[in-house]
Each structure stands twice: as structure tokens, then as C-alpha cells.
């Protein structure tokens, strides 16, 4: 393959080198990435500079190495570099740096950069076998993996300590393959038809007033965007939001819970997956007014409410072949309430998230959730940007088995 048609051509890679005995292997990796056509910017931890001087990496990468958070010239580099990077590769990654990344410590360039990262992160640990097997280190690797990082596991073999074990930095070709894989657009949802609901619903009290909630729609829109990017046909049934419909997604705007039910039910047979990310209002005014209620017409009487239709329950009764994924927004007892909803509505997966308070899922660009599936332990996903969370959730949805009761209709949802 020539450099021009290599998947790495024109990609901007940040190579973060930390203080492991395997630092010298990062030189080979840098050369391989450059040969593949990538532009590589190297950052080094202070410990790494004790093993190999920055000069080596500067000469081979053709650009200055960033290692000091406070040196004037590199001020704010941690922000400007991440804004344009396609991937951050940490190789070799020490046990110390793995812990810092998992905990979000920001006392050096790499830690600070990792907290502003918009691109995938590939982490290649290298350490003594006993260190790698330690539950704390394994826990940190799992935390980062749950947050969407790719961990390229160390290899088994003779170690610097003279012992034999799993701890050697993965071979540069293995690291390159992992980097190429994250940079390649994934098309693993090709052939799938995904029906997503998003945003709040609005129930009128009179023509100018309504009952609604604070859902921004960002999570549902992120899932629609991610599924379309990964090859799925996507229909997004959305309550009123400020968001633009993602490219390649068919937008069906609705207002009330009833509208949303009708729009989803009409396309349910078409779909292979339903993702119910909308925050559907549970109540509506029993007798909404046809005319605006004037201030002086109101004598203090209470607003009579009634329940809106339960969309998931209604669709669950019509289900043939679809994967069904629900969301639960809870202020307390997240897992307990989520498990009950999962069971009651016969879902394949339920994503429970916290609303209310500072970390509320509503309106935030990032979210931390707990994924519940039947017969499995709750699986938490730590706080990540919603777009990244969407990809992690799609990975999990893909593994849900679809019942072969009937084939989905091939009709387009609007035909
Ligand atoms: C000779 C030598 C080799 C080391 N090799 C490793 C290693 O392979 N992996 C590791 O996790 N730590 C290793 N360490 C320890 C790290 O250098 C140390 O934890 C340091 O604080 C890491 O800093 P950093 O993560 O900021 O680069 C080594 C230390 C020495 C002195």
C-alpha cells in the first residue's frame, strides 16, 4: 500500500510517551506512523525524558516535543493540539500514567490534554507482569475501556526485570493496526434500520402554555448521528429541541406524547432497533383550553391532569423482531427503578441516567450512565461526551440478540 492510500495518510496523531523502560520502542512506532503518512506530534512525560531525550523525537518527527505544561512557548498547547488531533496514542503507558488517566489527574501535559480530548485514545501499557496483573492497574484499564479508550494489551515474553510475564509493550505493527482501526469509519450498522426518539414532549394547557421538561434531546440526536455514521438508516422522531438534525437522518418533528406514539408506531414494523431516548411527559392537561386563558379568568382552580400513553409499553405489545432500548431518567435509586422499568416494559437494554442536580443528564454535553440488561449485572459507563457515549451504547446494542419471530418490513418509513 502506498502512503497516499494508507488509512493513516494526512491523519494527525499525538504520540504520548511515558517513563517506561520501553520508551525506545516509541521511536520505532513514531517512524512507522510517519512512514504511513501521519503527522505525528510527540508529547513526553518528565519521566520519559529521563530515558530518551526529546531531541531524538524532535528530529524524527520534525516538530518540537511538548513536555512542560508551564514553559511559555507551549502555553495552552494542551488545548490547541487536542482540538486538531485525530487520535491520541499513549505508548508506552506506565502504570502511573494509566492511573492518572483513569482518575482524570491533570498535573502534566498528557493528563491535561486527555481531559479536553475530542478524538479516540489508544493506550498501550508496558510494565512488569505483576504490575499489569495488579487489580488496581486492571481496574484503571477497565475504567478507561468503559469510557471508550482502546487498550492494546501488553504481550507475554521476557521482561526488563529478567522475569517472564505479560507486560511487554505490544509490537509496533499491533499498535499501528489498532490505530488504523479506530481511524477507519465503522460501517457495522449497515443494513440496520434504527428508530430513535429524542427530546421532550409538550402537552398544551392552552394555545400558548404547555407542560414539558428540560430534556435537550442531545443524547437521542447523538445516537441518531452515530448510527447513521456507522451505516444504519435512521429515523429520528423528535420533540421540540434547538438541535439540527444530523446528516443523513430522516427527521420527524412531533409535539405531544400522543404524536410521538403515532409517529413511532407507524414506523415500528420497519425498524430493526428502537432507541427510546425521548423524555416523554407522563401527564397532560385533562381539558386543554382552545383559547388563551386570561389572567383574570383564572380563579385559582387546580389544573386537572391525566396520564399520557405509555409509548414503550404500547410498542412492546406490538413487537415482532425489534431490539428495544429504553432510557430512564431518575433522581434517585437509579438501578432499582431502572431494573423495574426494564422488566415491566420487556426491554433488551435500559440506559439509566441521573437527572436533577449538578450532574443532571438534561442539557449536559456529557453523561455518565448505568446500562442494565436482563440477567446481567449493572454496567456503569463513566462520564464521557454524549457523542462518544452514543458509540459505546451502539457497540452494546449490536451484541443484543434479535428474536427471529418475523422479518422487518423493507418499506421506507415514509412510503
Ligand atoms: C529503569 C526504570 C524502568 C521503568 N519502567 C517502567 C515500566 O516499564 N512501566 C511502568 O509502569 N513504570 C516503569 N518505571 C517507573 C516509572 O518511571 C515511574 O512510575 C514514573 O513515575 C512514571 O512517570 P510517568 O507515568 O509520568 O511517565 C520504571 C522506572 C525505572 C527507573
CATH number at residue 336: 3.40.50.10300
Cα distance between residue 129 and residue 167, in whole Å: 5
Query: Same domain for 170 and 204?
Result: no
- Of 122, 153, 183, the position where a domain reaches its end is 183
Q: How far is the CA of 67 from the centre of ligand 1 (A)?
A: 16
- Of 156, 183, 210, the position where a domain reaches its end is 183
Cα distance between residue 70 and residue 72, in whole Å: 6
Beta-ladder partners of 372:
350
Query: Same domain for 216 and 161?
Result: no
Walk along the chain (415 residues) and give the pLDDT tens digit of each residue.
Answer: 556 667 788 999 999 999 999 999 999 999 999 999 999 999 999 999 999 999 999 999 999 999 888 775 545 666 677 778 999 999 999 999 999 999 999 999 999 999 988 899 999 999 999 999 999 999 999 999 988 899 999 999 888 888 888 999 999 999 999 999 888 888 999 999 999 999 999 999 999 999 999 999 999 999 999 999 999 999 999 999 999 999 999 999 999 999 999 999 999 999 999 999 999 999 999 999 999 999 888 888 899 999 999 999 999 999 999 999 999 988 888 899 999 999 999 999 999 987 766 655 666 788 889 999 998 999 998 888 898 899 999 999 999 876 544 444 444 444 3
The reply to whether ligand 1 has any atom less than 6 angstroms from the CB of 97 is yes
For residue 310, is it within any domain?
A: yes
As annotated, the active-site residues are 213
Cα distance between residue 201 and residue 310, in whole Å: 13
Residue 404's pLDDT is what?
A: 45
Query: Same domain for 133 and 60?
Result: yes
The reply to whether ligand 1 has any atom less than 6 angstroms from the CB of 45 is yes
For residue 154, is it within any domain?
A: yes
The reply to whether ligand 1 has any atom less than 6 angstroms from the CB of 18 is yes
Q: Which residue owns the Cα nearest ligand 1 atom 13?
A: 20
Number of H helices, E strands in the chain: 14, 19
Choose one of 94, 127, 130, 159 to mutate for the ligand 1 pocket test, by most ligand atoms within 8 angstroms of C-beta: 94
Query: Same domain for 152 and 229?
Result: no
The reply to whether ligand 1 has any atom less than 6 angstroms from the CB of 94 is yes
Choose one of 96, 97, 167, 169 to mutate for the ligand 1 pocket test, by most ligand atoms within 8 angstroms of C-beta: 96
Cα distance between residue 141 and residue 119, in whole Å: 18
Q: Which residue owns the Cα nearest ligand 1 atom 29?
A: 20
Q: How far is the CA of 98 from the centre of ligand 1 (A)?
A: 11
Residue 375's pLDDT is what?
A: 86
- In this structure, what C-alpha cell is assigned to residue 131? 504490575
Residue 415's pLDDT is what?
A: 35
Going along 163-208, which residue ranges are E strands? 164-168, 193-198, 203-206
The reply to whether ligand 1 has any atom less than 6 angstroms from the CB of 47 is yes
Helices (H), 92-241: 95-103, 109-114, 129-133, 135-146, 172-183, 218-229
Q: Which residue owns the Cα nearest ligand 1 atom 10?
A: 94
Q: What are phi and psi of 37, to 5 degrees?
A: 100, 5
For residue 1, is it within any domain?
A: no
Number of domains, the chain: 2
For residue 208, is it within any domain?
A: yes
Q: How far is the CA of 17 from the centre of ligand 1 (A)?
A: 11
Query: Same domain for 364 and 316?
Result: yes
Half-sphere exposure of 311 (CA within 13 A, CB side): 31
Residue 357's pLDDT is what?
A: 62
Q: How far is the CA of 75 from the centre of ligand 1 (A)?
A: 26
For residue 4, is it within any domain?
A: no
Residue 355's pLDDT is what?
A: 75
Residue 77's pLDDT is what?
A: 61
Q: Which domain holds residue 209?
A: 193-289+302-398
The Cβ of residue 10 has, within 10 Å, a number of other Cβ atoms equal to 12
Residue 405's pLDDT is what?
A: 45
Q: How far is the CA of 182 from the centre of ligand 1 (A)?
A: 27
Nearest ligand 1 atom to the CA of 127 is 9
Q: How far is the CA of 133 from the centre of ligand 1 (A)?
A: 16
Amino acid at each position: 500500500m502506498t502512503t497516499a492510500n494508507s488509512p493513516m495518510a494526512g491523519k494527525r496523531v499525538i504520540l504520548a510517551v511515558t517513563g517506561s523502560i520501553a520508551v525506545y520502542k516509541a521511536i520505532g512506532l513514531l517512524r512507522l506512523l510517519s512512514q504511513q503518512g501521519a503527522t505525528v506530534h510527540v508529547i513526553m512525560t518528565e519521566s520519559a525524558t529521563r530515558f530518551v531525550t526529546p531531541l531524538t523525537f524532535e528530529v524524527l518527527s520534525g516538530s518540537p516535543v511538548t513536555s512542560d505544561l508551564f514553559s511559555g512557548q507551549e502555553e495552552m498547547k494542551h488545548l490547541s493540539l487536542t482540538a486538531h488531533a485525530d487520535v491520541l496514542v499513549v505508548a508506552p503507558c506506565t502504570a502511573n500514567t494509566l492511573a492518572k488517566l483513569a482518575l482524570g489527574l491533570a498535573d502534566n501535559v498528557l493528563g491535561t490534554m486527555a481531559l479536553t480530548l475530542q478524538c479516540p485514545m489508544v493506550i498501550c501499557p508496558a510494565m512488569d507482569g505483576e504490575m499489569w496483573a495488579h487489580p488496581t492497574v486492571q481496574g484503571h484499564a477497565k475504567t478507561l475501556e468503559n469510557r471508550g479508550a482502546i487498550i492494546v494489551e501488553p504481550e507475554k515474553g521476557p521482561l526488563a526485570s529478567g522475569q517472564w510475564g505479560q507486560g511487554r509493550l505490544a509490537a509496533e505493527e499491533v499498535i499501528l493496526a489498532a490505530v488504523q482501526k479506530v481511524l477507519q469509519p465503522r460501517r457495522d450498522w449497515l443494513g440496520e434500520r434504527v428508530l430513535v426518539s429524542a427530546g421532550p414532549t409538550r402537552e398544551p394547557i392552552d394555545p400558548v402554555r404547555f407542560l414539558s421538561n428540560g430534556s435537550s434531546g442531545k443524547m437521542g440526536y447523538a445516537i441518531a448521528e452515530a448510527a447513521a455514521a456507522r451505516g444504519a438508516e435512521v429515523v429520528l422522531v423528535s420533540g421540540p429541541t434547538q438541535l439540527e438534525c444530523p446528516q443523513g437522518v430522516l427527521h420527524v418533528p412531533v409535539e405531544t406524547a400522543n404524536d410521538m406514539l403515532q409517529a413511532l408506531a407507524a414506523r415500528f414494523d420497519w425498524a430493526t432497533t428502537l432507541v427510546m431516548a425521548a423524555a416523554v411527559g407522563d401527564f397532560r392537561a385533562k381539558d386543554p383550553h382552545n383559547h388563551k386563558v386570561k389572567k383574570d379568568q383564572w380563579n385559582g382552580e387546580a389544573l386537572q391532569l391525566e396520564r399520557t400513553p405509555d409509548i414503550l409499553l404500547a410498542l412492546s405489545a406490538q413487537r415482532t423482531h425489534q431490539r428495544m432500548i429504553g432510557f430512564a431518567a431518575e433522581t434517585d435509586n437509579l438501578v432499582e427503578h431502572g431494573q423495574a422499568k426494564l422488566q415491566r416494559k420487556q426491554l433488551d437494554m435500559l440506559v439509566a441516567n441521573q437527572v436533577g442536580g449538578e450532574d443532571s443528564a438534561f442539557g449536559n454535553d456529557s453523561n455518565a450512565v448505568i446500562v442494565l440488561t436482563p440477567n446481567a449485572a449493572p454496567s456503569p459507563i463513566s462520564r464521557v461526551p454524549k457523542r462518544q457515549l452514543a458509540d459505546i451504547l451502539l457497540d452494546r446494542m449490536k451484541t443484543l440478540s434479535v428474536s427471529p419471530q418475523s422479518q422487518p418490513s423493507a418499506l421506507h418509513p415514509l412510503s
